[in-house]
């Protein structure tokens, strides 16, 4: 645990003093007399009067446990005890008096601050330079609710909350294995945010675990408020527009990924849990794929791949074909498109850009608006973008169809991160298409694919199992094989333990030998 700089400003001396009043003065100074800091001074004892101070931050603590397990015990037990020596009071309190789960000694101010700011309660005793910290965390937190960003028709209905401990518990409830390990780190000089790394020790690649931990340790920032901060710090290619860290608010998704040998990173204060290494295919897979019939899932996955292609290139193809390669269209279609383009004042590329930007603006506006105004935005949007613009002759009806198609296709992604990438890449492709036509579109796509091939996420090629082609991992990529066939884990991720269940594997072997 790093030594805080806050104490250095108030006092260079980090050790607790033996004088209670001096300690309390320093603490009050350090916290600037904030009124949520509660210091309760009591004097108890039968044979000898001892002066105690109970220190906690109001709102972060569980008041019932403070009153029942700390103050209550202190007042009654010490009052009744015959102890006279100050030195023995602390061990006595710790070992046989306080009825709280987690009790520790503290010797320094920095630990004291960390403890009370995390919701623990500190007990200081006059004439003793040792304090006691008791775990009384009890800040208000949100209940486990239905996931709001990743809804499924069939599947668990719970999602992560903002509390780290709840989140780890949600995962533990899914994977009841002693091999599910948690490594904790505290990140952020000022915020001191708890970050937990969860993985299956016998499956996850040790090198990747070590790499994740070392990257977390290297983070040097004052505050972490969301997993996005961590994501930005630990991802391999900082300038790539493609997401290389997957996130989900669904415990079942995260548990599934952990079972694949991936590593989960939980950040206190965020209901989104990060997963590394994240491959391109995981952004096109939904939790529900695994809960329904594999054939349906396979069809849906193919549909998604088709959708991403369309969302990426539909507007640029329209621009390229209508301005450069009119001969590619069937004649009746050309005439029909041409008749709609009659009287449109802009070149196709300007038309496409106007409509795409208008759509993005509407989408963004609808997203940030208070819920009550949301419908109004969409009504204005549909009227302006759809009907009025066509009737006024500013854009052609085909363009509206293209934009709508693109928009719907971009909503097809199970993961929001990739959807944003495709949104952004659409525009350069449109510009390329308007300059050199289909050739430009192909060039753009080549650059994109080459770039994707070059990305590594924690040492794993981003496009695997397509590039490099791993035949045995195709069972859970573009299509999904029946569960019986999913015997092995992704090869590049969990290198040391790639067989999923021993029972199935053994039956298969036995059958083979019988034959």
DSSP-derived pairing of the beta strands 37-44 and 50-57: antiparallel
Q: With contacts defined by CB under 8 A, how many residues of the chain interact with another protein?
A: 30
Residues 341 and 396: beta-carbon distance below 8 Å = yes
Phi-psi region of 437 (alpha: psi -120 to 50; beta: other; left: phi over 0): left
- Applying the rule CB under 8 A, the residues between 442 and 461 that interact with another protein are 443, 446-447, 450
In the complex, the smallest distance separating the C-beta of residue 454 from another protein, rounded to whole angstroms, is 10
* Under rule CB under 8 A, residue 239 binds another protein: no
- Applying the rule CB under 8 A, the residues between 86 and 115 that interact with another protein are none
Alpha-carbon gap, residue 29 to 193, rounded angstroms: 23
CB-wise, 40 or 341, nearer to another protein? Answer: 341
Alpha-carbon gap, residue 123 to 115, rounded angstroms: 11
Instruction: Please spell the DSSP secondary structure of 221-287, one letter per residue.
Output: -S---SHHHHHHHH-S-TT-SS--SEEES-HHHHHHHHHTT-EEEEETT-SPEEEESPPGGGGG--G
DSSP 75: I
Both tokens of 82, joined, read 């015959």
Residue with tokens 């493609």: 242
Q: Which of 178, 315, 310, 159 is nearest to 248 (CA)?
A: 159
Considering only residues 437, 470, 481, 498, which one is a binding residue for another protein as defined by CB under 8 A?
437
Q: Which of 203, 187, 318 is nearest to 260 (CA)?
A: 203
CB-wise, 60 or 349, nearer to another protein? Answer: 349
Alpha-carbon gap, residue 54 to 134, rounded angstroms: 10
The stretch near another protein (CB under 8 A) out of 100-108, 199-207, 223-231, 433-441 is 433-441
* Sequence-ordered strand ranges (E) for 68-212: 103-106, 121-125, 131-134, 180-187, 193-200
- Applying the rule CB under 8 A, the residues between 309 and 338 that interact with another protein are 322-327, 331, 334-338
CB-wise, 336 or 420, nearer to another protein? Answer: 336
In the complex, the smallest distance separating the C-beta of residue 406 from another protein, rounded to whole angstroms, is 20
CB-wise, 329 or 405, nearer to another protein? Answer: 329
Both tokens of 301, joined, read 């996955």
Q: Which secondary structure element, helix H or strand E, spans residue 302, and what is its range?
A: helix 294-323
Alpha-carbon gap, residue 291 to 286, rounded angstroms: 10
CB-wise, 85 or 327, nearer to another protein? Answer: 327
Angle 62-90-27 from CA coordinates, rounded to 5°: 60
Q: How far is CA 358 from the centre of its chain?
A: 30
Alpha-carbon gap, residue 92 to 81, rounded angstroms: 10
In the complex, the smallest distance separating the C-beta of residue 397 from another protein, rounded to whole angstroms, is 8
In the complex, the smallest distance separating the C-beta of residue 332 from another protein, rounded to whole angstroms, is 8
CB-wise, 212 or 344, nearer to another protein? Answer: 344
CB-wise, 344 or 493, nearer to another protein? Answer: 344
- Applying the rule CB under 8 A, the residues between 334 and 353 that interact with another protein are 334-344, 347-348
Considering only residues 81, 434, 457, 464, which one is a binding residue for another protein as defined by CB under 8 A?
434
Residues 45 and 23: beta-carbon distance below 8 Å = no
DSSP 315: H
The stretch near another protein (CB under 8 A) out of 353-361, 379-387, 400-408, 429-437 is 429-437
CB-wise, 275 or 348, nearer to another protein? Answer: 348
In the complex, the smallest distance separating the C-beta of residue 236 from another protein, rounded to whole angstroms, is 17
In the complex, the smallest distance separating the C-beta of residue 400 from another protein, rounded to whole angstroms, is 13
- Kindly write out the interface string for residues 49-88 of this chain, putting x where it contacts another protein by CB under 8 A and - elsewhere: ----------------------------------------
In the complex, the smallest distance separating the C-beta of residue 402 from another protein, rounded to whole angstroms, is 14
Residues 233 and 196: beta-carbon distance below 8 Å = no
Alpha-carbon gap, residue 270 to 160, rounded angstroms: 8
Secondary structure class of 139 (helix, strand, coil): coil
In the complex, the smallest distance separating the C-beta of residue 320 from another protein, rounded to whole angstroms, is 9
In the complex, the smallest distance separating the C-beta of residue 107 from another protein, rounded to whole angstroms, is 53
In the complex, the smallest distance separating the C-beta of residue 179 from another protein, rounded to whole angstroms, is 43
Q: How many CA atoms lie within 13 A of 142 on its CB side?
A: 16
CB-wise, 95 or 327, nearer to another protein? Answer: 327
In the complex, the smallest distance separating the C-beta of residue 384 from another protein, rounded to whole angstroms, is 21
CB-wise, 88 or 325, nearer to another protein? Answer: 325
Residues 161 and 141: beta-carbon distance below 8 Å = yes
Q: Which residues bind another protein (CB under 8 A)?
A: 322-327, 331, 334-344, 347-348, 397, 434, 436-439, 443, 446-447, 450
């Amino acid at each position: 645990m790093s030594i805080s700089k806050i104490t250095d400003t108030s006092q260079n001396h980090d050790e607790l003093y033996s004088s209670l009043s001096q300690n309390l003065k320093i603490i009050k100074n350090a916290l600037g007399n904030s009124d949520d800091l509660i210091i309760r001074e009591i004097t108890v004892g039968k044979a000898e009067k001892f002066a105690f101070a109970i220190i906690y931050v109001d709102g972060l603590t569980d008041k019932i446990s403070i009153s029942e397990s700390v103050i209550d015990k202190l007042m009654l037990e010490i009052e009744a005890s015959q102890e006279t020596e100050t030195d023995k009071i602390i061990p006595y309190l710790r070992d046989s008096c306080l009825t709280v789960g987690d009790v520790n000694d503290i010797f320094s101010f920095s630990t004291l601050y960390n403890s009370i700011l995390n919701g623990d309660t500190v007990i200081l005793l006059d004439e003793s330079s040792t304090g006691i910290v008791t775990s009384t965390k009890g800040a208000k937190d949100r209940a486990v609710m239905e996931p709001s960003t990743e809804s499924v028709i069939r599947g668990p209905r719970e999602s992560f909350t903002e509390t780290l401990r709840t989140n780890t518990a949600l995962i533990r409830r899914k994977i009841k294995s002693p091999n599910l390990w948690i490594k904790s780190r505290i990140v952020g000089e000022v915020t001191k945010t708890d970050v937990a790394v969860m993985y299956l020790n016998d499956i996850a690649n040790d090198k990747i675990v070590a790499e994740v931990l070392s990257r977390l340790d290297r983070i040097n920032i004052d505050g972490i408020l969301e997993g996005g901060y961590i994501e930005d710090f630990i991802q391999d290619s900082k300038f790539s527009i493609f997401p290389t860290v997957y996130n989900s608010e669904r415990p079942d998704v995260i548990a599934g990924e952990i079972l694949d040998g991936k590593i989960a990173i939980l950040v206190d204060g965020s209901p989104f849990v990060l997963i590394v290494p994240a491959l391109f295919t995981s952004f096109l897979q939904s939790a529900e794929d695994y809960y329904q019939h594999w054939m349906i899932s396979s069809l849906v996955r193919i549909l998604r791949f088709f959708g991403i292609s369309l969302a990426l290139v539909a507007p640029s193809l329209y621009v390229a074909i209508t301005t450069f390669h009119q001969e590619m269209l069937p004649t009746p279609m050309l005439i029909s498109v041409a008749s709609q383009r009659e009287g449109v004042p802009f070149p196709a590329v300007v038309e496409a850009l106007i409509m795409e930007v208008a759509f993005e603006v509407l989408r963004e506006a609808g997203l940030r608006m208070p819920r009550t105004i949301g419908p109004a935005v969409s009504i204005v949007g549909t009227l302006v973008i759809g009907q009025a613009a066509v009737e006024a002759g500013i854009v052609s009806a085909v363009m509206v169809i293209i934009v709508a198609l693109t928009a719907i296709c971009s909503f097809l992604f199970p993961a929001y991160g990739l959807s944003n990438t495709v949104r952004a890449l659409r525009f350069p492709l449109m510009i390329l298409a308007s300059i050199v036509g289909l050739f430009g579109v192909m060039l753009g796509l080549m650059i994109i694919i080459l770039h994707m091939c070059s990305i590594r996420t924690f040492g794993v090629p981003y496009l695997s199992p397509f590039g490099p082609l791993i035949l045995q991992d195709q069972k859970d990529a573009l299509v999904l094989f029946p569960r019986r066939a999913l015997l092995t884990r992704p090869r590049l991720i969990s290198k040391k333990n790639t067989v999923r269940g021993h029972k199935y594997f053994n039956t298969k072997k036995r059958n083979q030998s019988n034959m």
